[in-house]
Structure 1
Amino acid sequence: MTDHDGYDEGARERLVEEPPKRVDAPIRTPFERDRARVVHAAASRRLAAKTQVVGPQSDDFVRNRLTHSLEVAQVARDLSRALGSQPDIAETAALAHDLGHPPFGHNGERVLARLGEACGGFEGNAQTLRLITRLEAKTFDASGASVGLNLTRATLDACTKYPWPHGAADGPQGVHADGSPRTAVKFGVYADDRPVFDWLRRGAVGTRQCVEAQVMDLADDVAYSVHDIEDGIVAGRVDLTAIEPAAVWETVRDWYLPAASDDALDATLSGLRTVGSWPTTPYDGSRRSLGALKNLTSDLIGRFCGAVQHATYAASDGPFVRYAADLVVPEATRLEIAVLKGIAAHYVMRTDDRVALMHRQRELLAELVAVLLDRGPDALDRPFADDWHAAVDEPARLRVVIDQVASLTDASAVTWHQRLC
């Protein structure tokens, strides 16, 4: 790919310059190499055992963080290609977007954010940046410090969903599944990762996402909304023929769109019901029902991405690369995605059995953090034990423990808790 495609040498630059590949090695663009590095990262493999919505051990059909990431990547790649931007960048960002998630998904994120206040908090997207630029071992700088996967500037920028530090984040909004108010904020970089963040954001204006990050962000929302509904239907928790609008709209406002009116949400649901594959009879587990459900997910993804592509082309002539243009999400599409996410949230994530399980998960992680802080390096994996010895104060050691716990899968967090607590 050449500079006239919108990706100049600055976009291809890596934090540590790398020597040319062997002459007999396959010829790949820098962005193709970025994608391969994320695919082969240990953190990517761990996603297979991390919760998406329902725990990965509960059923072999439901999605885990890895299968979700693969589906986000497919949506992001197709939309990026349709817009004429570099599909490897958007796909890599999608593959990486959940690498920083701790055990038990957003529930684990919630407890680590509270426990990590003394060292600057915890946020899954900030942890992703930390992981791919520091914790995932591949490349080291002249001082011997790890620079993680040493991805290109354009790819790292596309991975940055929230391009601002903790102090610049908006206040928390909405409530958790148990009805308690949210207290954590969304941000993309911890204080001690600021140098690499400033390097990758060179050329950006304020907190604007590059268009490849916008594609990744939308693909995440699309996959989340559609596939969580699919999982909920197959699990017997969601019946699209028997939605209770009043209760669901309360969840939509609590979790996603505080200002949405009943009339707007009613009209949005009516519009979704006009999709030809929207079910008219309850799901019964047959192959015909499974096929119909797959057609629905395909139709909804096509509906959302088609609307965004059309609106984006109507708003700009492009090119749709880096900061030359923005993705345009129509208000109707934004509402449709929020309605689907609200249905899944209400019927799956707010159920009494799930709320009780989430409480036990938070207790487990809190106890694990406490015992690791007490035991110190003897209880940590070698890379984190080394980080502990290099830490200069208590907040730095707390960050090491948070890094260790965030790296665990759901199952390994339980195993560590059983062994240490």
Structure 2
Amino acid sequence: MDVADWIDRRRAPYAADPKATRGRARPEPPSPTRTEFQRDRDRVLHSTAFRRLKHKTQVFVYHEGDHYRTRLTHTLEVSQIARSIARALGLDEDLAETVALAHDIGHPPFGHAGERALDALMAPYGGFDHNAQTLRVLTWLERRYADFDGLNLTYESLEGVLKHNGPITDEAGRPVGRYAGRAAPAAILEGAERLDLPLTGHASGEAQAAAIADDIAYDAHDIDDGLRAGLFEIDDLAEAPLLADILAEVRGRYPDLDEDRAGHEIVRRVITRLVEDAIGEGARRLEALRPRSIADVRAAPGPVIVFTNAMAEAEGGVKSLLRSRMYRHSRVDRVMADAASIVRDLFGRYFEDPGALPAEWEREARRGGETSHARAVADFIAGMTDRYAIVEHRRLFDATPDLL
């Protein structure tokens, strides 16, 4: 029995099937040892953009400590959780893992502060969005193969990355979800048209598993990192009802446990609660929908892998606590404000003086008009690690903010 046949025996009828993939933009002969989604996963893992995640900020800048999450460690945790959910629901684990591994590849340096800075700078040129940038990396900017630009991933993987958080537009073409009330990013519209990726409808169950895994990983590891950084204490977790319940459980069972281990035990239980709730609700929704194919999942009136209403409210309480105690903490705000100023300075210098760019990027910046010039500068900066951005700023400017 080959690997594809072994996977087939465990796959639900509504799961993505690598044997029935819509294919790749540039057709390739099949692999004798891997499914199409396994090849996609491996291409993401071996990409330069994936390696750069090691030195890109999650919340804390890379040199603040060795044990805080980076984009890379966050991505690996998302991948593990996504596989667990996909396995439990009969979905294709490899596609779920591919979407999870690729979902943050488009993030610029310095986390959301870097993204906000680039989005403001690129506002006259179509804006900047990390999800759109991920699509650009996967389909054009990553250049490793002799026959094509990008990674030439399957349609299902690209669709999953593009729409893992839900549809981009409704049937009338109006932006929805995170893009509601504003235009969808130009890079998404251009990429979707070029690749014939529909912006309406939901992505596969595998992509939905990756999306909810992202939320679960964020909640859990930011609790862990916030405690480690001293931004809040264990007792402060009681402000969120879900965490209050888990804190009481841990204190009741292990009254003499030291604070470090107690924190880890709380995080472990948070992950378990959220994963089990998502699997349970996913199973209930799939049973009610009775999808006979992946097309039924895409056409469903709502996502099929979500938290129960009660858990969604509880998880929102966790995010609210982290927002007030961590993301808006004065220490984090100061560092991120300085980091954003580095991004603004670099953009302004490269835009005014393309000669400050490396030769290949200078050629790219000078190739078209003002919009393509700005996009090339944004592409270059988005590919930077935190460390490289700081080094470049020191090369080009007399003073660079101290991010410690």
Per the normalisation by structure 2, the TM-score is 0.83
Q: What residue is the counterpart of 1:164 in the other structure? A: 168
Q: For residues 67 and 140 of structure 1, what CA distance do their matches in structure 2 show? A: 30
Secondary structure at the aligned position of 1:100 is classed as coil
Q: What residue is the counterpart of 1:401 in the other structure? A: 377
Which AA in structure 2 matches 1:77?
R
Q: Relative to structure 1, is the Cα distance of residues 192 and 387 closer, same or farther in structure 2, using a 3 angstrom cutoff? A: farther
Structure 1 position 238 matched with structure 2 position 215: no
Q: What residue is the counterpart of 2:260 in the other structure? A: 290
Q: Relative to structure 1, is the Cα distance of residues 275 and 120 closer, same or farther in structure 2, using a 3 angstrom cutoff? A: same
- Work out which of the residue numbers 388, 391, 410 in structure 1 matches 2:365: 388
Q: What residue is the counterpart of 1:253 in the other structure? A: none
Q: What residue is the counterpart of 1:77 in the other structure? A: 83
Secondary structure at the aligned position of 1:121 is classed as coil
Q: For residues 320 and 61 of structure 1, what CA distance do their matches in structure 2 show? A: 44
Cα RMSD of the aligned pairs, angstroms, is 3.0
- Work out which of the residue numbers 197, 211, 218 in structure 1 matches 2:212: 218
Q: For residues 230 and 247 of structure 2, what CA distance do their matches in structure 1 show? A: 22
| CA deviation after TM superposition for structure 1 residue 89, in Å | 0.6
Residue-by-residue CA offset, 1:249-294 (whole Å, 9 max, x unaligned): xxxxxxxxxxxxxxxxxxxx3344233775549xxxx994333322
Q: What residue is the counterpart of 1:248 in the other structure? A: none
Q: How does 1:13-412 map onto structure 2 within 5 Å?
A: 13-21=23-31, 27-139=33-145, 146-160=148-162, 161-162=164-165, 163-164=167-168, 168-170=174-176, 189-197=187-195, 199-201=196-198, 206-242=200-236, 245=239, 269-275=240-246, 280=251, 288-317=258-287, 318=290, 322-325=294-297, 326-376=304-354, 378-390=355-367, 392-412=368-388
| CA deviation after TM superposition for structure 1 residue 388, in Å | 2.3
Q: Relative to structure 1, is the Cα distance of residues 89 and 130 closer, same or farther in structure 2, using a 3 angstrom cutoff? A: same
| CA deviation after TM superposition for structure 1 residue 322, in Å | 3.6
Q: For residues 310 and 81 of structure 1, what CA distance do their matches in structure 2 show? A: 13
| CA deviation after TM superposition for structure 1 residue 6, in Å | 4.6
Q: For residues 311 and 338 of structure 1, what CA distance do their matches in structure 2 show? A: 17
Q: Relative to structure 1, is the Cα distance of residues 6 and 351 closer, same or farther in structure 2, using a 3 angstrom cutoff? A: closer
Q: What residue is the counterpart of 1:262 in the other structure? A: none
Q: Relative to structure 1, is the Cα distance of residues 400 and 96 closer, same or farther in structure 2, using a 3 angstrom cutoff? A: same
Q: Relative to structure 1, is the Cα distance of residues 189 and 216 closer, same or farther in structure 2, using a 3 angstrom cutoff? A: farther
Residue-by-residue CA offset, 1:334-371 (whole Å, 9 max, x unaligned): 12222222222211221223222222222211111011
Q: Relative to structure 1, is the Cα distance of residues 401 and 278 closer, same or farther in structure 2, using a 3 angstrom cutoff? A: farther
| CA deviation after TM superposition for structure 1 residue 330, in Å | 0.9
Does structure 2 retain, via aligned residues, the 8 Å contact 1:229–1:344? yes
Q: For residues 296 and 387 of structure 1, what CA distance do their matches in structure 2 show? A: 49
| CA deviation after TM superposition for structure 1 residue 168, in Å | 4.0
Q: For residues 321 and 413 of structure 1, what CA distance do their matches in structure 2 show? A: 46
Q: Relative to structure 1, is the Cα distance of residues 349 and 185 closer, same or farther in structure 2, using a 3 angstrom cutoff? A: farther
Q: For residues 132 and 112 of structure 1, what CA distance do their matches in structure 2 show? A: 20
Q: Relative to structure 1, is the Cα distance of residues 108 and 322 closer, same or farther in structure 2, using a 3 angstrom cutoff? A: farther
Q: For residues 100 and 113 of structure 1, what CA distance do their matches in structure 2 show? A: 13
Q: Relative to structure 1, is the Cα distance of residues 91 and 387 closer, same or farther in structure 2, using a 3 angstrom cutoff? A: same
| CA deviation after TM superposition for structure 1 residue 147, in Å | 3.6
| CA deviation after TM superposition for structure 1 residue 165, in Å | 7.0
When structure 1 is superposed on structure 2, of 309-318 and 147-156 the one drifting more is 309-318
Q: What residue is the counterpart of 2:391 in the other structure? A: 415
Does structure 2 retain, via aligned residues, the 8 Å contact 1:119–1:399? yes
Can you give the 5+ residue segments of structure 1 that lack an aligned partner in the other structure? 174-182, 246-268
Residue-by-residue CA offset, 1:56-106 (whole Å, 9 max, x unaligned): 210111101000000000000110111101001111111111110001100
Which structure has the highest helix share of the two? Answer: 2
Q: For residues 117 and 348 of structure 1, what CA distance do their matches in structure 2 show? A: 28
Q: Relative to structure 1, is the Cα distance of residues 186 and 244 closer, same or farther in structure 2, using a 3 angstrom cutoff? A: farther
Does structure 2 retain, via aligned residues, the 8 Å contact 1:369–1:401? yes
Secondary structure at the aligned position of 1:275 is classed as helix
Can you give the 5+ residue segments of structure 2 that lack an aligned partner in the other structure? 298-303, 398-404
Does structure 2 retain, via aligned residues, the 8 Å contact 1:119–1:398? yes
Q: For residues 91 and 149 of structure 2, what CA distance do their matches in structure 1 show? A: 27
Q: Relative to structure 1, is the Cα distance of residues 297 and 18 closer, same or farther in structure 2, using a 3 angstrom cutoff? A: same
Residue-by-residue CA offset, 1:315-342 (whole Å, 9 max, x unaligned): 2235597443322321122122222222
Secondary structure at the aligned position of 2:21 is classed as helix
Q: Relative to structure 1, is the Cα distance of residues 295 and 131 closer, same or farther in structure 2, using a 3 angstrom cutoff? A: same
Does structure 1 retain, via aligned residues, the 8 Å contact 2:168–2:176? no
Does structure 2 retain, via aligned residues, the 8 Å contact 1:72–1:220? yes
Q: What residue is the counterpart of 1:251 in the other structure? A: none
Aligned residues: 371
Per the normalisation by structure 1, the TM-score is 0.80
| CA deviation after TM superposition for structure 1 residue 153, in Å | 1.0
